[in-house]
Amino acid sequence: MTLHELIARRIRLGGPLTTATFMELALYHPGLGYYSRAPRRTGRAGDFFTSVDVGPQFGALLARQLDEMYRLLGPSCADRFDVVEAGAANGQLARDILDTAESDFPALYRAIRLTLVEASAPARAAHLDTLGHHSRRLVASSDRMPDEVQGVILANELLDALPTHAVAMTADGLREIMVDVEEERFVERAAPPSTPDLARYLDRLDARLSPGGRGEVNLAAVEWVQDAARRLRLGFMLLIDYGHPAERLYSGSHSTGTLTTFRRHTTSTPVSDTEQQGGPPWLAHPGEQDITAHVDWTSIRTAAADEGLALLGLTDQTHFLLGLGALDNAPTGADTPSVRHRLALKTLVVPGGLGSTHHALMLGRGVGTPTLAGGAFKTRM
C-alpha cells in the first residue's frame, strides 16, 4: 500500500487528520515517510540545501563556537563535553565540526562525547560511515535524546521539520485546518480546533490572526525545546533555523501561513497555484516531498526561559557567522580550494539568503550570561 492510500484509508476510517498528524505520517511514517526512507534529503541530489550542504565551512565555524562554550564550562568539564546534535541526518554536520575540532581545538576534540539524535533509521545507519575515524567520539546514535547533557545541545533545521498544526481565522472564530479526502484527493477542511492548546498558544502571544488569515501553531517544537531544556544539566543550547518573532509570523506579512514544500529544489508556498494544481501543494505527494513551517522564535525562547535557560543571543545567521570570524581567518576544516571556500562563506553569510532567513538562538544553563562569539553582534530580533 502506498503512503497516499494508507493516509486516505485512515481518514475514511477515523475522520479528518490534523495538519500535524498528516505531516507526521508524510515525513516520518516508518518505512514510507519522506525522512524515513533516506539517510539524507538535502544537497544537490536531494530536494533542498541546508547550510551543511554548502560545504564544511558551516561546521568549521560552529566548532569555533563549541570551543568557546567548552572553555566557558571550565576545568570541571575539561574531560567531558557532551555534544548532542538533534536532527543530525546522516551526521555530516558533526563530521565537519569534528574535522575542525581535531585540527584546531584539540582539547575540545579530546573532551567531546558525541550523541547523534535522529528520527530516521537510514540516517542513523549512516552515522559511523560519515564520521569515519571520528566514530571513537560517538557515544550514541539514537532516536531519543540522552537523559542528561553537560555540554551543548545543537540543532540545525530541526524545529521547522517538526509536525505542526495549522489554523485559520474565520467568521466563526478560530478553526483548525484538517486534512480530509475527496475521491482520491486530499483537501483542506476547516474544523473546530482539535485541542484548546492552539487558542492558548496564540492568546499567550497576544497574536490576532486577521479574518481570512491562517498560520501554524507548532506545539511539537515548543515541547521539543521544553524536553531538551530539562535534559540540559549544565551548558548551552544552540538552535539554528528559519523563522520570525511571533509578532511578524502572525502578522499580515504571513497571512497565508508558511507551510512550504521542497521537491527537487522547487519550492511551493502554502497556497501557490492552488487552483491550477487542484489542491494545496503541501497535500500533494505525501512521502515524496519535504513539508516545513517557519519557526516561531518567540514561543521557542519563552519555552526555554520557562525551563530556566538564560537567553544568550538571538541573531541572524549573517551576524552569527560574522561573530565567529566567517570573514577573517575562519577555520576551514578539510583542504578547501580558496575560491570555493569564499563562495561557500558568501552563501552562508550574505544578507538576503541563508544569512537573513536563518537565525541562531543561543541559550545557557549554569553558565551565567556570557556574550558568546556568535552573539557578539547582539540580539537582532
Residues that bind ligand SAM (CB under 6 A): 35, 42, 50, 52, 86-89, 93, 117-120, 123, 156-158, 161-162
Whole-number minimum distance, CB 46 to ligand SAM, in Å?
A: 9
Smallest CA-to-CA distance from 145 within 90, 73, 223 is with 223
The residue (of 86 and 360) whose beta carbon lies closer to ligand SAM is 86
Residues 113 and 196 sit within 8 Å (Cβ to Cβ): no
* C-alpha–C-alpha distance, residues 212 and 168, integer Å: 7
**φ, ψ of residue 152 in degrees (nearest 5):** -140, 140
What minimum distance in Å lies between the beta carbon of 122 and ligand SAM?
A: 9
CB-CB neighbours of 63 under 10 Å: 27
> CB of 44 within 8 A of CB of 213?
no
Give just the sign of the alpha carbon dihedral 9, 13, 15, 17: negative
Least spacing, CB of residue 187 vs ligand SAM, in Å: 26
Q: Taking the complex as a whole, how short is the minimal distance between the CB of residue 121 and ligand SAM, in angstroms?
A: 10
- Under a CB-based contact definition with an 8 Å cutoff, are residues 296 and 221 in contact? yes
Residues in the chain: 381
Q: State CA 203 to chain mean position distance.
A: 24
- CA-to-CA distance for 77 and 150, rounded, in angstroms? 8
DSSP of 9-41, one letter per residue? Answer: HHHHHH-PEEHHHHHHHHHH-TTTSTGGG-S--
| Dihedral, CA of residue 364, residue 222, residue 116 and residue 50, to nearest 10 | -100
We find the least distance from the C-beta atom of residue 371 to ligand SAM, in angstroms, to be 25
**Amino acid residing at 256:** T
Distance of alpha carbon 8 from alpha carbon 186, whole angstroms:
8
Angle at 334 between CA 330 and CA 337, to 5 degrees: 80
- Return the residue matching grid coordinates 485546518: 177
CB closer to ligand SAM out of 246 and 354: 354
229, three cell numbers: 531544556
Of 133, 320, 158, nearest in space to 239 by CA: 158
Give phi and psi for 272, each to the nearest 5.
-65, 130
Helix/strand/coil percentages in the chain, nearest 5: 40, 25, 35
